[in-house]
Amino acid sequence: MRYVDEYRSEEAVRKFAAAIRDGVTRPWTLMEICGGQTHTLIRFGIDEMLPPSVTMVHGPGCPVCVTPLEMIDRALAIAEKPGVIFTSFGDMLRVPGSRTDLLSVKARGGDVRMVYSPLDALELARKHPDREVVFFAVGFETTAPANATAVWQAKRAGIRNFSLLVSHVLVPPAMEVILGSPTNRVQGFLAAGHVCTVMGYREYEPIAAKYRIPIVVTGFEPLDLMQGIFLTLKALEEGRVGVENQYTRSVTRDGNVKAQGVLREVFEVCDRAWRGIGVIPKSGWRLRDEYAEHDAIRRFDVGTITAEEPSVCIAGEVLRGIKKPNACAAFGTDCTPEHPLGAPMVSSEGACAAYFNYGRTV
Amino acid sequence: MTDERSPRPADAPFDLSCPVPLSQYPHVLLAHGGGGKLTQRLIEQLFVPSFDNPALRELHDGAVLDVGGRKLAFTTDSFVVTPLFFPGGDIGSLAVHGTVNDLAMCGAKPLALSAGLILEEGLPMEQLRKIVDSMRRAAASVGVPIVTGDTKVVDRGKGDGVFVNVTGIGLVRDGIEISPRRARPGDVILVSGEIAVHGIAIMSVREGLTFDTVLVSDTAPLDGLVDTLLSAVGEKVHVLRDPTRGGVASTLNEIAGQAKVGIRLEETKIPVSEDVRGACEILGLDPLYVANEGKCLVIVAPEAADAALDALRRHPLGAKAARIGEVVADHPGRVVMRSRIGGLRIVDLLTGEQLPRIC
């Protein structure tokens, strides 16, 4: 398949693996930000092709994993309301809240539907004017423009029965939390190519300068990752800091300016709780007051929701790259994708699920 | 929204969060019928212990019974597909093919089928006629009569138009003994053609996904293909399975578990059409877990592998047959695949339904 096979060539990947082996003189620890990148690393066995002195730790870039339990409970409470059609991307349907998950709400009669785009949810709202259609808007900067567009269109078309349950999170503040932590081990980052496709990479330049690290904007195919790792290690070995762009076929320094315009029009920055990490200031987006009518949080009164998370699993340490999933005592025994104890085991992009599904039990 | 907790300084210790596990599902979920772990659990923990007997314990596509010295294959399958009509077939032909194929996977020639129809009040008679005619044609194409049947009608809203059950009996060919338990180290694994076609074709209609080309379901009766194969290599065929729900990955996991052997696959050898690969890339699905309706997996003794592959390729339904892996003594119960770039990964049973990823 064109534009895919080229980036999955064993020969090309091995060439970069050899260059990495030849060029590395010291141990280095790198973090790939995005869950999609973690998935590729493990699915193709890329990390096993690296020399033992290079450690890849897996970042917090899995939207399903970092969505707080309170937000999932809120989603469940809204989905259980009569008259609501609750829509979501597939991944979120299986994420357990405190007592149930969306698929179980559906099994008990709730109208929960999987959609491929928030615009499909908007279409449902058009078709069912007597119902309340809610879309669960989770994710990073990547998924936000489509969600913003859906709300923007709803407002202009006067579709008043459409709302978003927004739990958007932003990458740069999470990177700063990781880098600013006294236990930080990360010496270089592979930034998330799709996030940067939307946002560009100007906002990473001050982070690279402040923490004296290389950041390489990287794609998602095996060859992208191998090249991104190579460029990051090369910069580390040469003592260079700053932002480089491996994913030039998709990312520019300024990003998608038009998408950013819609985002600014619809969303404003807010503090946001990250599951496993806690509240990070200015790390999320919420709907502006002008869009209050389409904000499910303001539209549906579900009472006060607080969720207690017993501290059994090490999701927080996994999400911050301090521990690997298989270092957890519960990994693969008490905690499996079927019975997840922590969110990274739920989504296929979660580091724990990637380890489990691809058999990294030791 | 405003988060209720106050911002925490970046160097403060973190909450290590984790939700209460959902250890039991008090209700049936769609995933209980998805062919993955929840289906397997239902079979192992409810059905097998409840109905326990030697024929059932084989857990093959159908049961094989000894009747007066002859071996009779017996199987049943219910069909609840939406939409009722899809590119390449409809629920009627699908149901007949499904049961014929389950018999074929036991090494049996189909003798007779039954048709059970559960109809929803309000179903257009014209649609019913089309479905019945499609069943007739599908059965005629393999020369098997539909000899008995049953009809029930449920209130509007309590069915999805039509549900179809087809039960079949067949006679196992002389000298043939096919069972998932017969896979042994050294055996070669063949697949009869490009995988994941049916699942993607259905999904693209159901979800209104449009691609440049129309994906057509591969639903087909495998009786003729199996005939050609068994005429060529006969008892050298150890296992036959049609990888329907849960796809090739789930079926091979079941075989690895039942035969207590390991299975080794080569990703680059598994035939997947460009259209299906493209659709899977877009949707974030793995073709190994997507349903097939006109394909079979063949596990054959190594000395007969080339002859078996030639036989499959001689048949129109097996033109794109390929050798995709082998049975090994290592890692019993596990399916391991060498990835496109040379890394190894375990191919596990899916926990729930395969769900498209967020991004």
**Do B18 and A166 make contact, defined as CB atoms within 8 angstroms?**
no
* Predicted pLDDT of residue A305: 84
Where are the CATH 3.30.1330.10 domain residues in chain B? 60-172
* Whole-angstrom distance, CA of residue A334 vs CA of residue A220: 31
| CA-atom Rg of chain B in angstroms | 22
* pLDDT tens-digit map of A194-224: 999 999 999 999 999 999 999 999 999 999 9
* Whole-angstrom distance, CA of residue A226 vs CA of residue A237: 16
* Whole-angstrom distance, CA of residue A66 vs CA of residue A72: 11
For residues A224-238, average pLDDT? 98
Average pLDDT value over all residues in chain B: 88
* Whole-angstrom distance, CA of residue B157 vs CA of residue B122: 9
Q: Which of A94, A106, A358 sits opposite B355 (nearest CB)?
A: A94
Confidence of residue B197 (pLDDT cuts 50, 70, 90): very high
Best residue of A47, A111, A338 to probe chain B, by most B CBs closer than 10 Å? A338
Question: What residue ranges in A219-290 does DSSP mark as E strands?
Answer: 242-245, 267-274, 278-287
Peptide bond preceding B83 in cis form (omega within 30 of 0): yes
Where are the CATH 3.90.650.10 domain residues in chain B? 180-346
Question: What residue ranges in chain B does DSSP mark as E strands?
Answer: 63-67, 70-79, 85-86, 89-90, 108-120, 146-154, 162-172, 188-191, 237-241, 262-266, 297-300, 322-328, 335-338, 344-346
Q: Does the interface ipTM go beyond 0.90?
A: no
User: Rounded to 5 degrees, what angle do the CA atoms B307, B194, B254 make?
Assistant: 80
Could you write out the DSSP letters of every residue in B218-269? -----HHHHHHHHHHHGGGEEEEE---TTHHHHHHHHHHHHHT-EEEEEGGG
**Do A340 and B344 make contact, defined as CB atoms within 8 angstroms?**
no
* Whole-angstrom distance, CA of residue B81 vs CA of residue B77: 12
Smallest Cα distance from B29 to chain A, Å: 6
* pLDDT tens-digit map of B41-54: 889 889 999 999 99
* Predicted pLDDT of residue A271: 97
B139, amino acid identity: A
B89, amino acid identity: G
B22 pLDDT exceeds 90?
no
Average pLDDT value over all residues in chain A: 91
A343 pLDDT exceeds 80?
no
Q: Residue A224's closest CA among A27, A46, A22? A: A46
For the domain spanning B180-346, the CATH number is: 3.90.650.10
Assess if CATH 3.40.640.10 describes domain B60-172. Answer: no
Q: Do β-strands A132-139 and A84-88 pair in parallel, antiparallel, or remain unpaired? A: parallel
* Whole-angstrom distance, CA of residue A63 vs CA of residue B52: 44
> In this structure, what token pair is assigned to residue A138?
């989770």
**Do B4 and A70 make contact, defined as CB atoms within 8 angstroms?**
yes
Residue A354 buriedness (CB in 10 A; 0-12 / 13-18 / 19+)? buried
Q: Are B289 and B358 in contact (CB under 8 A)?
A: no
* Predicted pLDDT of residue B71: 95
What's the helix, strand, coil split of chain A in %, to 5?
Answer: 45, 20, 35
Confidence of residue B355 (pLDDT cuts 50, 70, 90): low
Question: What residue ranges in chain A does DSSP mark as E strands?
Answer: 28-34, 54-61, 84-88, 111-114, 132-139, 162-169, 188-192, 214-218, 242-245, 267-274, 278-287
* pLDDT tens-digit map of A158-189: 999 999 999 999 999 999 999 999 989 999 99
Q: Taking the CA atoms of A175, B19, B353 and A136 in sequence, report the sign of the dihedral they define.
A: negative
A:37-56 residues touching chain B, CB 8 A cutoff: 42-46, 48-49
Q: What percent of chain A clears pLDDT 70, i.e. is strictly above it? A: 97
3 state DSSP class of A88: strand
* Whole-angstrom distance, CA of residue B286 vs CA of residue B268: 14
A:261-290 residues touching chain B, CB 8 A cutoff: 270-273, 275-281, 286
Smallest Cα distance from A272 to chain B, Å: 6
> CB neighbours (10 Å) of residue B240?
27
A61 pLDDT exceeds 70?
yes
What domains are defined for chain A? Answer: 5-61+183-245 (3.40.50.11750), 65-170+255-299 (3.40.50.11740), 315-357 (no CATH)
B352 pLDDT exceeds 60?
yes
pTM value is 0.82
**Do B343 and A92 make contact, defined as CB atoms within 8 angstroms?**
no
